[in-house]
Each structure stands twice: as structure tokens, then as C-alpha cells.
Amino acid sequence: MSSILNTDVIVLSRKETGDSGFYLKALSPDLGLIDINARGVKKQGAKNSPASQLFACSRMSLSLSKGRYYIDSSTVTKVFYPLRLDIRLFSLASYFAQAIIGLTTENQTARDIYRLLANSLYMLSERGSDPEFIRFIFQMRFMGDIGFLPGLLGCDVCYETHPVMYFSIETGRLFCREHIPADMPLREVSASMVEALRYVCLSPIEKVFSFRLSDRARDALAALSEDYLIYHTERKFDTLDFYKNMSHE
């Protein structure tokens, strides 16, 4: 006996199975990270083929049988086609997917992460997109969503905010010049950078892309949020390395 579930899905990765299908790793706001058996989708004209493409956003009807999901029907809502035309954008989207696969819990609701990914892919697909700006936002917001929200309200000692502050990758805390801890590596951040960090971590998800940064602040925050993610998750991502190599060519 199988049960039917209807949910939105973004495909994060896929692996061939047999001659005509794929195993999909997908993110659902309702079901979290799930595995889906997409049978027959490689056949010409297969009805569920569009929904099985990487980064496709779809409304799926899934049957659950013996602990495994199968696609019963699907309606594609967004394919983010521009990502397929630019290897740099595709590699950054792949990094987002790899981070979600590696750092989220399977079969638990993931509404915030789903919306973050959907919005990030949409922004990457827009003409004139700024990949480093989007990378900063994804990395910082994602860390908050998985339980690593930094302390950004002010200095961790005196609670004040000054024109120049210092951020600890290790503790996720801010310090003013007067209260810098001894022997702790710190990143200097301007008041506008602190405000950007607060905005990304604490604003409603639909608003997190609605501001601008100077190129210098953007690059510094992309590097800071990357180091914060890697330090606290103790993970490396080959997709990120590839994206950065492509960016420097």
C-alpha cells in the first residue's frame, strides 16, 4: 500500500539508475531533504522528465512505498534556465545544493532553507546578477537556519556598536576595539558591514536581497561568511573550490 503526498521540490542532485531513470536528492519545504526514485524520466517524452532536471522547482505528487518516494506526477514551476548557460553560475548553484545536502537533516521540515535556496537560484538567474553578493547572503543566512546564528547586536562585552568592530569566526561574536580578546583571530568590519550581517541574518527571507554593498564590503563579507561556514561545519566543498577557480580565470 502506498500513500500520496503533494509537495514543492527543488532537485539538488541526481544519479543514474538503470537505463531510464534517476535517483534524485531533493529539498521539500514540508519533507526536508528526501530521496526520490524518478523512474523512466530519461525516455523520450517522459512526462516527469522536466521536473527531474537539476535545480528544477516543481510541484510533485509523490507516492511513498516501503520508505521510498516515487514521482507520480509533476508540474514544473521554475527551471532557472540561465544557470545552464553559465558554468560559473551553475557551479555556485551546485555549491548551494552540496551545502544543503551535507548539512541539513533528512526528512525534517525545511521551509526556511527551501525559501532561501529558491530565492538564491532566482537571483542567480536574473540578468546582471552579482554572484558574490548572493553567495554572501546564502552562506550567512544558511548558517543561521542550521543553528549557527552569530551574535550581531553589538560588542559581546559592552553591547555597543562602533564605526569599526571586530568579528570572531571562532565564536561568532562582535567586539569593539576596547574589548578585543587576547589571542583571538578577528576580522575588522565596518559599521555598514555589521548592518549588512544583521540584515541578512534577521530580516524576513523575502527581503534579504533588497540592499546593496560596495564591491569591497561584498568581497570581505563573502570571504567572512565562507570561513564562518567552513569553520563551524568542518566541511569542504569541491563545488565551491571549482566556483572560485572559475571566478579567478
**Mean pLDDT, 10 residues at a time, over the chain (249 residues)?**
84 90 95 93 91 96 88 94 94 98 89 97 94 98 97 96 97 97 94 97 95 96 98 96 87
Report whether 46 contacts 22 (CB < 8 A). no
Sheet holding 187-190, edge to edge: 151-155, 173-175, 164-167, 187-190
Instruction: Map grid coordinates 507516492 to a residue.
Output: 63
- Which whole-number Å values give the CA distances from 13 to 73, 120, 220, in the listed order? 19, 17, 30
What is residue 1's predicted lDDT score, i.e. its pLDDT? 46
> Residue 169's closest CA among 233, 126, 218?
233
Q: What does the chain come to in residues?
A: 249
- Backbone φ and ψ for 247, nearest 5 degrees, come out as -70, -25
- Backbone φ and ψ for 143, nearest 5 degrees, come out as -60, -40
Distance CA(52)–CA(171), nearest Å, equals 40
Q: Which three cell numbers stand for residue 159?
A: 553591547
Residues in a beta bridge with 188 = 166
What is residue 249's predicted lDDT score, i.e. its pLDDT? 62
What is residue 110's predicted lDDT score, i.e. its pLDDT? 94
Report whether 38 contacts 23 (CB < 8 A). yes
Distance CA(57)–CA(134), nearest Å, equals 19
**H helices present in 126-214, as ranges:** 131-145, 191-202
Kindly list the structural domains of the chain, giving each domain's residue range(s) and its CATH number in brackets, ordered by start: 3-79 (2.40.50.140), 82-248 (1.20.1440.120)
Distance CA(162)–CA(164), nearest Å, equals 5
Provide the 10 A C-beta neighbour count for residue 214: 11
Residue 133: alpha-carbon gap to chain centroid: 13
